[in-house]
Structure 1
Amino acid sequence: MAKFAIDLKSGDIKNEAELIVGIDLGTTNSLVAYIKNGQAEAVKGKNGKSTLVPSVVHFSPEGKIVVGDAAKEKLISDPENTIYSVKRLMGKSYGDVQGVQQYFGYQIIDNDTESLVKIRVKDKFYTPIELSAEILKALKNRIEEELDRVVSKAVITVPAYFNDSQRQATRDAGKLAGLDVLRIVNEPTAASLAYGIGLDQSESHTIAVYDLGGGTFDISILRIQDGVFEVLATNGDTFLGGDDFDRAIVDYWTAENKLDSTQINADKELSQALRLQAEKAKKALSSESEYRGEVNTISCQITREQFDELIQPLVDRTIACCQNALKDAQVQLADIDRVIMVGGSTRVPLVRESVGQTFGQEVYDKVNPDEVVALGAAIQADILAGNQKDILLLDVTPLSLGIETVGGLMDIILPRNSKIPTRVGRRYTTSVDGQRNLKIAVYQGERDLIQHNRKLGEFILKGIPPMPAGLPKVEIQFILNADGILKVKAEELRSNVEQEIEVKPTYGISEEEMALMLIDSIQNAADDMTVRALLEARNEANNIVLSAERFLGQNQEILNEEEIATTRSLTQALRDAVAGTDKDAINQAMETLNTYTAPLAHRAMDFALLEAMKGKQI
């Protein structure tokens, strides 16, 4: 099979040795690694101090975007324009994170829909994909400076529990950063590879990977046999990590100094300063018995014993997750061959001791826990580059496959480089009341708009029972067999109406054409993202306009004239914004309308409940 090294600066295909890098896109820190003289090595920055790039993005008053250590310094002085822990938001809607928004120093927008979250910085709205792309660009620049060559291909790791939308969001972030993401690899798989587990296909192992990072915890039970990594079970908590250890220390200092926690949370600069001081204390207590510091005359003192007592409930939660994972995997403690420790927070002595006691064996932590996932990703990348001849690679899809959605967007169902044979399903619904037919158009390619991709075929799912928009549940399945034949099946789950089509995705496309399609997608990623963001904002806004009109029609009797007039005026302002081409203006108009109508909607709900309960006894 021919291979192409893509120079994204010139757009040329170059003939040089294949280089694919491994990237750990982390909640707190991110790293990039590659194989140097046969060994995986994480890349340090220009100063040579650390391999870690803080996953922090700062927007300066001049509009400059800064990533890493320089951005982290702005967490105290400019928290509203400094974004951290963006990985926690990948593939999430506002409903998924609204209970913990107070922990973020920046503004997450409540758009009252199931759409993916947006982060507001000044008058602009960013998606987690765009922010993650900035971190990936910084990593790409770091390794290009190290090697003095263009790097265009990468393997990126994600938690084993990431769903399809979170994995696709990670791929999109890579593309936006100018990277061809050849494979999304589970973090526990990468950690195993870093320890050499799974490279010898004659061996079989059952291992536990305990991963406690800055913002997330997960435990994965893996079975490795014949070079195949099978995740038997995964468990964890996407809002539990070293950040929570820091928060426990801050809460302790707040109580000890008799401070008002509400006032501290309201003072973003002070709360960030205390958070950073707590992080220093946590690190110091890994090797010392006591820590002493000060923030704005606030005494910051804590002992190892006090710290252990504070975090014991948090560590116990991770142990409960471990026990649940073992139960789900249907394996006994005696079946676990090794316990691998991943993430900087596993340096905390209480964590290591508790995990060792739970599994009844010494934990594996000889490889730097901050770097182990990135190093494993580099090994996986080296395998993909064909440099480890004794390891078998399964066949993969050469180009992404998906369907057309509202506005001419391409929704990828089967991403490029997915292993085959495979079966993937996703659920959709109707966008018009009473819709009886649904056209399913199947496309192949890497661009965000279907007009830039290759149409493979289409069919119509007929006979959907007439229902309000959003009620029908249409499941679309892509079944790709080992010969590359794709069967697309659509079924309306409430009525069991179904239809299918069969196509051959790669027919008529040469290796060179595929490479050029890929170059085209990466070079146009920024423009594609801009167009996609505008179309998605318009689609979302149109739904909100319909909801607002329906709300006014149904609740005239409980709204006064001013409320009705203001809602109509804001709805018209949103219509006007939709007619334009500024997605930030659309998002601004949506936010304004939602903010105004939210209390009205709550009042309407209370009124409806009172009406429903009239004459009834509880």
Structure 2
Amino acid sequence: MAKISINLATGSLQKEEIIVGIDLGTTNSLVAFINPEQNPQVINDTGKGLLVPSIVHFNGLGDAVVGNDAKSFLISDPSNTIFSVKRLLGRSYKDVADYKDTFSYKIIDDDTESLVKIQAGDKFYTPIELSGLILKELKDRAEHALKTPVNRAVITVPAYFNDSQRQATRDAGRLAGLDVLRIVNEPTAASLAYGIGLDPTQTKTIAVYDLGGGTFDVSILAIQNGIFEVLATNGNTFLGGDDFDRAIVHYWIEQNKINPEVLAADAGLMQTLRLKAEAAKVALSTQNIYNEKLETSNPALGEVWCSITRIKFEELIASKVQETIDACQNALTDAKLSISDIDEVVMVGGSTRTPYVKQQVATFFGLTPHDQINPDEVVALGAAIQADILAGNRSDILLLDVTPLSLGIETMGGLMDVIIPRNSKVPTKAGRQYTTSLDGQVNMKISVFQGERDLVSENRKLAEFDLKGIPSMPAGFPKVDINFMLNADGILTVQAIELRSGVKQEIDITPSYGLSDETVEQMLIDSITHAKSDVEQRMLIEARSEGEQLVYTAERFIEKNGFVLTDVEKTETLQYIAALKDALATAEKDNILKKADELNEFTRPFAERLMDIAVSQAMKGKSID
């Protein structure tokens, strides 16, 4: 039941503030709301259509236009017309180095922030600022159409967006004047739009296949009792319909024998070819051949024939489509499911209109995919439903997402101690207790990592901070709780507290730049490929750490309590310590463990002897009744 607000002073009904759902897409963006009939609806500002091209153009004065008004400048002023900015959100220059030449505008490295910036005219803009302009256009469109202020929103992102990219999206919303209530995974929003599982008696497992203009995600969702639980996600934020367009462009370049130097000097021609390729892709969804002649103003080129058959198009995109199918299999593996466990498949994203994509997905899953809802609108519609949930108007749905990579801290020897495992449900909280390794240690450095390898050197460092002011105590006495809290937006908060003193330190982690999904996938592959060697390395490091701690403890014992040993015992103890030190200098785990056991066995009676002395002194002069 929807909430009703009443002005207590006048007794009149107050109009509810509308919370919109926004699909901030790579190619197009949309904004939706729940209409008076309680149905999700994409906002259509009169004369502007449903889709807002995710394009920003800057004129010579630095003034910006967004959407369709900007799209026309892709050919006439390509260097000042920014498209596919979503690909750059939360990215470093290194991340996009292999792709920057596909953009007609200039991307530069901002050394001060480790993030990319885009040059337009004599000014420089961050991807967050540019995304903010697109979101502002959507906000203005919604306010114009609905005749009411719009200040709060739910924004969707690809399921594989990491912490930095999610935070960048939230920051862009703030720049647009929006209070971003929730960052929601696009596949999760799409499942809501289809309403699969809204019947609380239904139990289903579905696959959401989302292939947009620049990103791809597949999510495996379990739906039970109205709860949408993401079992696993996989994808690639650098794979989508844009890649199909590029494949066609490169094919035409080869067919027309166009000199790369001519293209490099004519950015407008490259954009013209890209737009023609997009038109060809759309046409080949309903016809078998696309054939057009392009008249160029470049005397070195003259006419360019833009011709391609559907068969050739499918041949060009086959490897990219297969990458998406491989990701589907990886997601199933992560979810510990087989293809037969999937009850339904949902298609999302404009690129799923390509017949070859539908065929391959249907063949892989052995099911006819759902594609009844306009694939361009489905995510925005789902975001509007999520906004309605957050407004308190729906209580029959609960969304649970997962984190794509494990999160943990560095422990002694450079080992990764996982606190939140990969594919844990979000939001989540987990923690562990640690202690000091040295006597009198008053500070503890906490380094947070993301990844699947046993060694932190092979994982990605997210942040580092110091817990200061730990009371000076013998090693092992302080008790430090380290808690990880991952919220629904995928933003991580790490808290460390020393329990005896109450000393506490906390940090919200927003990494300096993003992690590409090619890297995510490679990290997962590496964790499997190197599993055996990683385990062996971990066992060696653990043996060394234990051995080093034992040497430290034994030497401290002799230093402080040598009076309980005879000269012979002291000499032999030092010999055992030396033998363990020699073993520690090697990479032979078994030898380290053997020498550690020998030292332990030899010195055990000394600890018992010291305890007896302590008890005897404590009882001196006392009688037992």
TM-score calculated relative to the size of structure 1: 0.64
- The aligned counterpart of 2:10 is none
Q: How many residues align?
A: 428
**Is the contact made by 1:459 and 1:500 (CA closer than 8 Å) also made in structure 2?**
no
CA deviation vs aligned residue, 1:475-524 (integer Å, no higher than 9, x gap): 9855599xxxx9963499xxxxx985399xxxxxxxxxxxxxxxxxxxxx
**Is the contact made by 2:291 and 2:308 (CA closer than 8 Å) also made in structure 1?**
yes
- The aligned counterpart of 2:176 is 177
- 1:42 maps to a residue whose letter is V
- The aligned counterpart of 2:314 is 308
| Superposition map of 1:430-579 within 5 A | 460-461=467-468, 477-479=483-485, 489-490=495-496, 501=504
1:381 aligns with 2:387: yes
**Is the contact made by 1:246 and 1:275 (CA closer than 8 Å) also made in structure 2?**
yes
Q: Structure 1: state its 5+ residue gaps.
A: 6-13, 395-417, 426-434, 441-457, 464-473, 493-497, 504-535, 537-618
- The aligned counterpart of 1:157 is 156
Deviation of 1:265 (Å): 3.7
- The aligned counterpart of 2:375 is 369
Q: Distance in 2 between matches of 1:106 and 1:362?
A: 41
Q: Distance in 2 between matches of 1:476 and 1:113?
A: 31
Q: Structure 2: state its 5+ residue gaps.
A: 6-12, 297-302, 401-424, 433-441, 448-464, 471-479, 507-511, 513-625
- The aligned counterpart of 2:422 is none
| Superposition map of 1:29-40 within 5 A | 29-36=28-35, 37-40=37-40
Change in CA separation of 1:52 and 1:370 when aligned onto 2, cut-off 3 Å: same
**Is the contact made by 2:107 and 2:117 (CA closer than 8 Å) also made in structure 1?**
yes
**Is the contact made by 1:18 and 1:385 (CA closer than 8 Å) also made in structure 2?**
no
| Superposition map of 1:27-176 within 5 A | 27-36=26-35, 37-47=37-47, 50-111=49-110, 115-176=114-175
Q: Distance in 1 between matches of 2:159 and 2:431?
A: 17
Among 320, 324, 343, the residue aligned to 2:330: 324
Among 351, 369, 376, the residue aligned to 2:357: 351
Deviation of 1:289 (Å): 1.2
- The aligned counterpart of 1:402 is none
* SS state at 1:110 partner: strand
Deviation of 1:92 (Å): 1.2
Deviation of 1:388 (Å): 2.4
- The aligned counterpart of 2:210 is 211
Deviation of 1:90 (Å): 1.1
Change in CA separation of 1:269 and 1:336 when aligned onto 2, cut-off 3 Å: same
Q: Distance in 2 between matches of 1:140 and 1:111?
A: 29
> Which 10-residue stretch deviates more, 282-291 or 253-262?
253-262
**Is the contact made by 2:158 and 2:216 (CA closer than 8 Å) also made in structure 1?**
no
**Is the contact made by 1:28 and 1:84 (CA closer than 8 Å) also made in structure 2?**
yes
* SS state at 1:219 partner: strand
* SS state at 1:151 partner: coil
**Is the contact made by 2:247 and 2:316 (CA closer than 8 Å) also made in structure 1?**
yes
- 2:359 maps to a residue whose letter is E
Q: Distance in 2 between matches of 1:239 and 1:487?
A: 28
- 1:88 maps to a residue whose letter is R
- Which protein is bigger by CA-based radius of gyration? 2
**Is the contact made by 1:34 and 1:41 (CA closer than 8 Å) also made in structure 2?**
yes
* SS state at 1:38 partner: coil
Deviation of 1:192 (Å): 0.3
- The aligned counterpart of 2:15 is 16
Deviation of 1:424 (Å): 9.5
1:422 aligns with 2:447: no
- 2:234 maps to a residue whose letter is N
Deviation of 1:18 (Å): 3.4
Q: Distance in 1 between matches of 2:218 and 2:333?
A: 12
* SS state at 2:373 partner: coil
* SS state at 1:99 partner: coil
* SS state at 2:276 partner: helix
RMSD between aligned alpha carbons? 3.6
Q: Distance in 2 between matches of 1:459 and 1:248?
A: 49
- The aligned counterpart of 1:470 is none
Deviation of 1:61 (Å): 1.1
1:334 aligns with 2:333: no
**Is the contact made by 2:160 and 2:237 (CA closer than 8 Å) also made in structure 1?**
no
Deviation of 1:299 (Å): 0.9
- The aligned counterpart of 2:418 is none
CA deviation vs aligned residue, 1:391-445 (integer Å, no higher than 9, x gap): 4699xxxxxxxxxxxxxxxxxxxxxxx98663599xxxxxxxxx978899xxxxx
CA deviation vs aligned residue, 1:571-606 (integer Å, no higher than 9, x gap): xxxxxxxxxxxxxxxxxxxxxxxxxxxxxxxxxxxx
Deviation of 1:231 (Å): 2.0
Q: Distance in 2 between matches of 1:225 and 1:129?
A: 37
* SS state at 1:118 partner: strand
Q: Distance in 2 between matches of 1:238 and 1:35?
A: 29
**Is the contact made by 1:118 and 1:127 (CA closer than 8 Å) also made in structure 2?**
yes
Deviation of 1:226 (Å): 3.1
* SS state at 1:109 partner: strand
- The aligned counterpart of 2:8 is none
- The aligned counterpart of 2:588 is none
**Is the contact made by 1:487 and 1:500 (CA closer than 8 Å) also made in structure 2?**
no
Q: Distance in 2 between matches of 1:236 and 1:138?
A: 28
Change in CA separation of 1:77 and 1:204 when aligned onto 2, cut-off 3 Å: same
Change in CA separation of 1:300 and 1:491 when aligned onto 2, cut-off 3 Å: farther
Change in CA separation of 1:480 and 1:139 when aligned onto 2, cut-off 3 Å: closer
Deviation of 1:114 (Å): 7.0
Q: Distance in 1 between matches of 2:308 and 2:252?
A: 8
* SS state at 2:41 partner: strand
Deviation of 1:112 (Å): 5.3
Change in CA separation of 1:477 and 1:45 when aligned onto 2, cut-off 3 Å: same
* SS state at 2:137 partner: helix
- The aligned counterpart of 1:543 is none
**Is the contact made by 2:28 and 2:51 (CA closer than 8 Å) also made in structure 1?**
yes
Change in CA separation of 1:253 and 1:393 when aligned onto 2, cut-off 3 Å: closer
Deviation of 1:261 (Å): 3.0
- The aligned counterpart of 1:291 is 290
- The aligned counterpart of 1:405 is none
* SS state at 2:180 partner: strand
Q: Distance in 1 between matches of 2:223 and 2:24?
A: 24
Q: Distance in 2 between matches of 1:370 and 1:28?
A: 10
Q: Distance in 2 between matches of 1:475 and 1:73?
A: 57
Change in CA separation of 1:424 and 1:300 when aligned onto 2, cut-off 3 Å: farther
Q: Distance in 2 between matches of 1:197 and 1:321?
A: 22
Q: Distance in 2 between matches of 1:480 and 1:269?
A: 45
Q: Distance in 1 between matches of 2:431 and 2:42?
A: 34
CA deviation vs aligned residue, 1:538-574 (integer Å, no higher than 9, x gap): xxxxxxxxxxxxxxxxxxxxxxxxxxxxxxxxxxxxx
Change in CA separation of 1:461 and 1:123 when aligned onto 2, cut-off 3 Å: farther
Q: Distance in 2 between matches of 1:356 and 1:19?
A: 38
* Percent pairwise identity: 60
Q: Distance in 2 between matches of 1:344 and 1:315?
A: 14
Q: Distance in 2 between matches of 1:203 and 1:352?
A: 26
Q: Distance in 2 between matches of 1:172 and 1:64?
A: 21
Deviation of 1:462 (Å): 5.3
Deviation of 1:256 (Å): 1.1
